[in-house]
Chains A and B, each alone.
Chain A
C-alpha cells in the first residue's frame, strides 16, 4: 500500500498541473492513468494539432504542452502509475483507499479526479459473436507478435496501427487488410510499402469492405466481409486484429457514489470538492455553473483543489499563501539554486 497526501486520477494536462500545485505547497502525490504515457487527450487525440489558448503560449501542440508540463512537475518526483485504471475506492476512517486493475493499492486523505471524459479503451468490434473470441483470436493490440507465425491474419482499420502491423506481420504470415473505404490514412512511406507488398502478393487488401460475421463455434475459423455494393466474401482467418482507435469511457468512476450529471461530476467551486469529502474533481470531468472545458480552466481548478487538499493532508498546520517569485520554501521544493 502506497501512502501519500493526494492521489490524482488522470495524467492529462489538468492532472499534471495539479501535481505542480500540490508540489509547491509541500504535498506529495501519486498519479494514475490508463494510457501508457502522460498527456491524456492532448497526447492521444491531438498530439500534432496546435492549441492557441494557453496563456503566454501563443501556439503549441498537444505533445509540446505535455512535455512542458512534465518538465514543470519534474522537481516534485511524483510517481506515475500508467497502464492501469482505478477500479475501486473506499473510505477507511479519514483515508481513501484505491485499488487499480493491476493490483496496486494506494491510501491518501485526498483524491483528485482529473479524468477528462473517462479512461481510454480500444474500440471493440461491434459484432456480438466476436466477444467470445476476444483475447484468444481477436485482439485490439499486439502484446506478443510471436503468437503469429504462419497464420492467416485479418487486420481491420485504415490508420497507422493497421498499416504498420500489416507490414510487420506479413513477413511471417498471410495477411489480409480490410478497410471500410478505399483510402488509407497513414504515413506516405508506410502506404507505399503496403502497396508494394500487395503487388508482391504478401498482403491482400480488401476495400471497401466491412465485417459482417465471424465463423466458428469454439474456435474461430473464418470471417465474412461485405463489399459496399453488397457482395459477400469469406476469408479463412486464424486471428483478427482490429484497430479502430480509442474511445473514452467513464468506467468505474460512475460506481463510486459520486453525484454524476451527464458524465460530469458537480463540484463546489471554492474547493472543487465533490459530494464526497476528500474527493475532488477538476478539468473536463467536473461541472459547475459557467464551466468551460478549457485546459486553462483545468489549471485554475487544480490550484484551488490543491489548497483544499492541504487542510486534509496536514490538519495541524496552517496553510499560508506564498508566491513562487518570493518564497524560499517553494524555491527549495522546486530545487532552485541561488
Chain B
C-alpha cells in the first residue's frame, strides 16, 4: 500500500507544456507544478528562451507568445511585466514573459510560441 502511495506520489502526472519554435517545431515536455514556463524550457534544453536575468523580470529574454484561448486563463499581466515586454523583441498583444507564468494543473496542455530571437 505504501509502495503504491509512493508510486503515485512520485510519478504523479505533471502538466504537459508545448513549446513551439518560430518555425513551427513542437516540443512537448512535462513540467512540475510550481516551476515557471521559463524554467521548464531551461531544464529541458528547449531552444528559444534565453532568460538572461534568471527570472527577476529584468531582461525580457524569456519572451513568448501565448495563444488567445490560453492567454485569458493566465494570471493577469502586471505593470512591471508589461514594461519589460516593451523591451522585448517584437512584442505582440499576446506576449508574456515566460518567467512569470507559473505552472499549475490548470495549465496542462499550455502551448507557447517562442519569437524568432530574444535579443
| Residues of chain A having any CB pair with chain B under 8 Å | 41, 45-46, 49, 117-118, 123, 126, 157-159, 179-181, 183, 185, 228, 244-245, 247-249, 263, 284, 293
Contacts and interface: CB of A to CB of B under 8 A. Distances in A.
Contacts of B89: 123, 126
Contacts of B61: 247-248
Contacts, number: 53
Nearest to B52: A117
Contacts of A157: 86
Given A45-B58, A46-B58, A247 B119 contact: yes
Q: Which label, helix, strand, loop or mixed, suits the secondary structure of the B interface? A: loop
Nearest to B95: A180
Nearest to B55: A293
Contacts of A126: 89-90
B82 to A, nearest CB: 7
B83 interface: yes
A254 B70 CA distance: 38
Given A45-B59, A249-B119, 16 more contacts: A45-B53, A45-B56, A46-B56, A49-B56, A118-B52, A123-B119, A126-B90, A158-B83, A180-B91, A185-B79, A245-B87, A247-B52, A247-B61, A247-B119, A263-B50, A284-B54
Contacts of A45: 53, 56, 58-59
Interface in B85-111: 86-87, 89-91, 93
Contact of A244 (B79, B86, B93): B86
Contact of B86 (A49, A185, A247): A185
Contact of B83 (A117, A185, A247, A293): A185
A117 B53 contact: yes
Given A117-B52, A249-B119, A293-B54, A228 B86 contact: no
A180 B86 contact: yes
16 contacts: A45-B56, A45-B59, A49-B56, A126-B89, A158-B83, A159-B83, A180-B86, A228-B93, A245-B87, A247-B52, A247-B59, A247-B61, A247-B87, A248-B119, A249-B119, A263-B50
